[in-house]
Structure 1
Amino acid sequence: MLSDGQRFTPAMLATQQNHFASDGLLTKWCLIRLSQFTRSRVQGKQIIIVMALDIIRQQKDKIGEPLPIDVRGPTFVQQIKATPTLSRNSQLNKVSGKPTTKGFNTTKSMKGGHTITPISDLSPYARDWTVKARIDQKSDIRSWSNSKGSGQLFSLVMMDETKSIKATAFKNEVDKFYDLLQEGRVYYISAAKVVPAKKQFSKIDNDYEVILADSTIIEECHDDSNMPEIDQAYTPLANLQDLSKDQLCNVLGVVAEVDDLQKISVKKAQRMVSKRGLIIVDRSGFSCRVTLWGKVAEEFEAQPNPVVSFRSLKVDDFNGRSLSYQGGSSRMSIDPDLEEAHALRGWFDAVGASQTFQACQGVSASRGTSSGLDRTELMSIADVKNNNVGMSETAYFTVKLRILYTIKAKRETTFCYPSCPGEDCKKKVILDGGKWRCAKCDGIWNQPLYRYVTTVGAADHHDTAWFSVFDDIGQEIFDMSAGEFQNLQNVDEEAFARQSKVPQSKQYYFKCKAEENVVNSQSRVRYTILKAFPLDYKTEMKMLVKMMDETYNQ
C-alpha cells in the first residue's frame, strides 16, 4: 500500500525493482519518492505500478490518518490549487511541477480516439496505449533459425520527444508492416506487445522493447509536430576519439582504400561471413577503417575514391579507433546528392588526394579514467550475485572495487600464454623445432608474444568475487607487459614476488561481463573485466560533495 498522508492505494513493484524488497530496503512506513510509475487494472482493481523509486529515509511512524482512495472524490492534488491536475500519462517536471508531455494529446484519426502515451511510459503493465512516433531506423529483412523454428524478421527504432524504443516484427508481420513503415515518417502505433529488452541485441537506452503482432494497428500520421527530427549530423573523423566504444555515429568521408573481400568463420553462428575493409578520410585530416559485413560487403562496388555517407555505424576500438557496419541499423549511400558531399568531393580533388592523413586513435577499450564513467550503471557485488546477473544470458555491469588477491609468487605459477605475434591473431603458439608455430594462421616465429590470462580477487564494501583478466587489463594493473613479467619470473623470484603484489589495494571502476559457464556439469557465472578505470580523485570528491548536498537538502 502507498499513502501520501491523506489517501492510500494498492501498488505493485515492477520486476526490475523487486530488489528493494528482497534487500530489505522497502520497509513499512518508509518514505519513498516515485520517479516513474503507471496505472493499470489488475484483477478488476486500479493499482499503481512502480517503475522507478528512491528511498528517502526509513521511519517507524505512519504519516497522517489516510483513508481509502476514492476516484470520484477530491484528491490530494486537487486540494492544492497551485498544483495542476495531470492526466495519467503526464510526467512531472521535477523543477517546475508542470507536465513535460506537451505534445501528447488525443488523436481523433484512430479508431476510438485514444490518448497518446509517451514512449517513456510504455511497460508490460501499460494497457490500451497508443504511441505517436517517428521511425528513426529500419533494418533489412533477415532470416532466423533456431530450435523453435525459422522465419524472417525486421526491426526498427521509433522515437518521440521522451525516449526511443526498439520494435521487431516476425514472420507474417514482416509482410504486413515492412513496406508500410518508412524511415523518417511518423505513425500512430497501438495494440503491440511490450516485453523486457534483450540488451545483448540492442543498444537502445530503454528497458523494454515492442513486438509487432497480428492485432497491431499502424496508421501514418501527417502531423509531425512535437516529433524529434532524425539526427543527420556527421561526426568528423578527428572527433571519433571522443566517442565511447559501441556508440553509434554518422560519418561522411572519401574512400581512400578498398580491401579485397574476405571470408571469416564465426564460431557462434558456425558459418562463414563475408567481410570487407574500407579506409575513409575527411577534411579533418584523419583516416579511419570501416568494416562492412555480409551482403553489403559482397555488393560494394564504386568508382575510385567515392564519397560515402554512413549512418549509425558502431564505434569500435580495434587498432585505435574503427567503425563497423551494423546490418540491422546502419545505412550507406555512395556519392549522395548532399551539399556536404559535394563540398567534400571538391576538397578531395583539389587538396585531399595528395594529403597525408593521421589514423584515428582513441582511448583504449580497457583503460580510461573515472571522470568519463556512467555512474548510473554502478552495482555492488552483492547486487550482481543476488540478481543472478549473467546466469540466463550474458550481461554487463560496472562495479567499484579494490584488488585484494593476485598471482601467487611461485615459479610454477601460470599467468600468461605464448601467443601468435601476427596481426589480428591471438592464437596460442606451439614450440616446434626451435620455432614457434601458429596453427591458425600457419605463421612461424622466432619468439612468441606473451599475453596475460589470469584471475584477480577484488572486493567492495559488501562482498568479494574473482574475475578473469586478459592482456590489456593485465598490463594496466601489473604496470608491465606479460612478456616482461614472464622474464622476471624466470630470472628474479624476489622481484617477481614484489611485482605480483603491485595491484593489491589498487582501486578501480571495472566494466565487467557476466556469463554462464558449465564446469564438470555444474553451472556457474564467470566474471570477466573488460575495462579498468583508475579513480580520478578530483571527480570522486565532486561526486561525494554532490551526494552530501543531495542528502542534506532532502
Structure 2
Amino acid sequence: MAGLQGCFPIADLSNYTKGWTIRARVTAKGQIRTFQSKREGSEGGKVFSVDLLDCEGGEIRASLFNNAVDLFGEKLQVGKCFTFSRGTLKIANRQYSSLNHRYELTFDKDAVVEEVNDDASIDTMKLHICELRSVQTKTLPTNVDLCGVVVSFKAPVSFTSKDGKELVKREIVLADDSASSMEVTLWGDRAQKADKEFEGNPVMCIKGVIVKEWGNGRKGSLMEAGALLPSPTIPEAEKVRQWWSQGGSSQTLTALSDGGFVGGKAPVGKPATLADIRAAAEQALISEDVFSVVCRLAIVQTKKQGEEQPLYYMACMEPKEGNKLPCNRRVDASGFCAVCNRAGKVAPRFSLRCKFSDCEDSAWLTTFHEAAKGALCMEATELKDLEAGAGREAMEAAIRHSYFQQPLKVTVRAKPDSYNGESRTNITCIDARPVPMAEHGRLMLKEIQEMIVAC
C-alpha cells in the first residue's frame, strides 16, 4: 500500500496551498471538447476533464486544456494511478460536477503528470449515495449519485441535436427504499447496452447524475464523466435489494418525474372538477377546450357485458421518415403495418377506459397511452409481460392495485365532434401524472384566501 508517499491530501487542497503534488487514481474521464474563446481576437481551444481520488478518500475534478490535452489525453486512463503537480485551483462549478470538493484543478502547458504503480490503498470509485426522496427537496440543478432498482426502461432512441450531432438516449426509471422513483436518461454507449442489462429489475448505482426541473417533475441525466455500475456490492445496494424483495415491488411509489408527455411539459388546462367535465360533455362545444382536474383513478374497464376488453394493442415502432419518431400505428396479428407497408419492430401501447373520481363526481374517460402510463404508474410492456407470464387475473390484480392511490393531475381535452350526423362533445384524457404537491398547495391556499375575502 503506497499511501500518500509524501504527496499532499486532495481534501486539503485550496488556494493557499503552494507547491503541491497529489497522488490519485483516475475514476472518470470525459471526452475531448473544443470551444471558442469569448475574447475578441483570441483563438479557441480544447479541453477534457478527469475525476481524481486519493487514498484518503479525497476527490477533485481536474480539467486539462490545450497543450495538456496533447500531452496527456491518451496517457490518462480510467483506473490508473498518477502523480499531478503544477496545476492551479479555482472554485468548483457544482453544476457540472457531483464531487464534494470546494475547488477544481486546471492544467495547461506547465502541468507535470507521471504514471505510478497501481496503489491498492486507493479505491476504484467513491460513491455518495443520495436517496431519491431527498432529491425532491434539493435546489436545482444538482448533482447526485443514486442507487436503486430499475423498475422500467424504454428502448434506445437515436436523434439529431440542434447542432447536428447524432445522439442516442435511453430512459430508465429508478426506485429506492424511500419508496420514490425518478426517470434517468442514459446517453451514448450506456444507452445502447442490451435490453437484458435492464430486465428483471436489477439494482444499479449511477454516479454523476445531474437533476433538473422538467415539466412538473424532476428528471436526471447521467453526465459524460459519470458511471453506470450494474450489480453493485455496496451496503446501500444490498439494502435496496432487500426492500424490493420484501414488499417494495408491490409498494406504491412517489414519482419525482412527470408522466413523460411528449416534449416533457404537461399540457396546460384551466382548473376544473369532474362535474365541470360532465357539464362540458353534455353541451355542444364550438371550439376545443382543455381542463385540468385533480382526482384519483377509480376503475379501469377490463370487462364489458361479461366480455374481456383489450387493454393494449401492438403498435409499429419503426421510425417515420422526416422526424424519425415511431409510427405508433396499430399492426395486424403478423406485425405488418399498413402505413409503413412492412413488418418491423413493435411494442404494446395502452388504450383504456378509465373512471376517475374527485370529491364532487366521477367520469369515464377514454385514456390513451401516455396518460394511461401515468394513471397506472406502469408501462404497457410490463402489463403485457404479466398477462403472458401469470395470466389475465394477475394482470387485472396489478391494475386494481392502482385504484384510489396517489392523487393525479389529469388533463382532459373536450372538442366538438359528430356521430351519425349529430353534434356531440368528444372527451378524452390526454395526460395524467402525480399531483405536484407544492403547486397544488399554493393553488388551494389562493382559493382559501379568495373565499375569505369574499366573506
TM-score, reference length from structure 1: 0.39
Larger Rg, first or second structure (1 or 2): 1
Structure showing greater relative contact order (alpha-carbon pairs closer than 8 Å, 6 or more residues apart): 2
